[in-house]
């Protein structure tokens, strides 16, 4: 890829994958040819070969669906051009906070994707189940504390204030009530199809390797580096790998003890 990008002096690489990808990409093509893009609020599923369906309505969120940003945080001409291209699909924001946006999306994935893989549940089913819903909140809160320790300026996580999520995860009753009320209100708003399944749950269903090491694994690894415990992530990783290796079947019971 490095040789190919060199043939296009003004070219650059954009990845819409989950996880923290820009450093890996820059290691191949260079930081000057790396631009970040995040599908922050997109729900979609490849349900058959060549057939994709969106599981959340276009423009359904009050927040921008996509975020694009330069690694150095400035708004550039190429970033605005990229935003214009993506705007033909759905709403987009050119951000000066790529790294905070990235970690915030990692927290979103970290609170749902592995849970879907270990339980076999859809997103709405997870939110209806009190034990699973509260585990998701703890996963998000641990991710927030790691991101804060890393110095990131975190954005809203599924429309929730990061600090409120963290306090809810740590046992603050008022914060927990606020977060759960918001989750249940969103559940009752019918903005997401009951078919919507987080991507790692789709991977498990289709027998593909999951991204658990690159989502929850990254949160746990970075937590160890900065001295922030992430026990829920560590236990979730263990459960997902047991399902992935065929040792147990996907079931909510796999996570009730976490």
Instruction: Tell me which of 96, 130, 149 is where a domain ends.
Output: 96
Instruction: Tell me which of 72, 96, 120 is where a domain ends.
Output: 96
Q: Which domain holds residue 240?
A: 99-254
**Does 250 share its domain with 128?**
yes
The pLDDT-based confidence of 43 (bands split at 50, 70, 90) is confident
pLDDT per position as a tens digit, 97-134? 999 999 999 999 999 999 999 999 999 999 999 999 99
**Does 156 share its domain with 244?**
yes
**Does 110 share its domain with 49?**
no
pLDDT per position as a tens digit, 49-98? 888 877 666 665 567 889 999 999 999 999 999 999 999 988 999 999 99
**Does 130 share its domain with 186?**
yes
Instruction: Tell me which of 42, 75, 96 is where a domain ends.
Output: 96
**Does 15 share its domain with 129?**
no
Instruction: Measure the CA–CA gap between 217 and 238, rounded to whole angstroms.
Output: 10
Could you tell me the CATH number of the domain that includes residue 246? Answer: 1.10.1040.10
Query: Structural domain tally of the chain?
Result: 2
Position 19 pLDDT exceeds 70: yes
């Amino acid at each position: 890829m490095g040789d190919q990008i060199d043939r296009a002096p003004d070219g650059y690489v954009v990845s819409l994958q989950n996880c923290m990808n820009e450093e890996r990409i820059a290691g191949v093509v260079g930081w000057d040819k790396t631009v970040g893009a995040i599908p922050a609020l997109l729900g979609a599923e490849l349900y058959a070969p060549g057939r994709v369906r969106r599981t959340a309505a276009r423009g359904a969120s009050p927040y921008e669906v996509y975020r694009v940003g330069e690694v150095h945080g400035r708004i550039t001409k190429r970033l605005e051009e990229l935003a214009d291209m993506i705007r033909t699909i759905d709403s987009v924001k050119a951000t000066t906070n790529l790294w905070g946006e990235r970690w915030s999306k990692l927290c979103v994935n970290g609170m749902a994707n592995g849970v879907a893989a270990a339980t076999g549940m859809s997103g709405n089913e997870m939110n209806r189940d009190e034990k699973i819903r509260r585990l998701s909140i703890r996963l998000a809160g641990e991710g927030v504390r790691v991101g804060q320790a890393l110095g990131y300026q975190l954005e809203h996580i599924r429309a929730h204030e990061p600090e409120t999520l963290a306090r809810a995860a740590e046992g603050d009753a008022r914060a927990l009530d606020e977060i759960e009320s918001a989750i249940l209100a969103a559940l009752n708003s019918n903005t997401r199809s009951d078919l919507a399944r987080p991507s790692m749950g789709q991977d498990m269903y289709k027998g593909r390797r999951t991204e658990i090491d690159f989502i929850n694994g990254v949160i746990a690894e970075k937590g160890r580096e900065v001295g922030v415990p992430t026990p829920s992530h560590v236990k979730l990783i263990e459960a997902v790998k047991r399902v992935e290796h065929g040792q147990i079947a996907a079931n909510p019971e796999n996570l009730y003890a976490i």
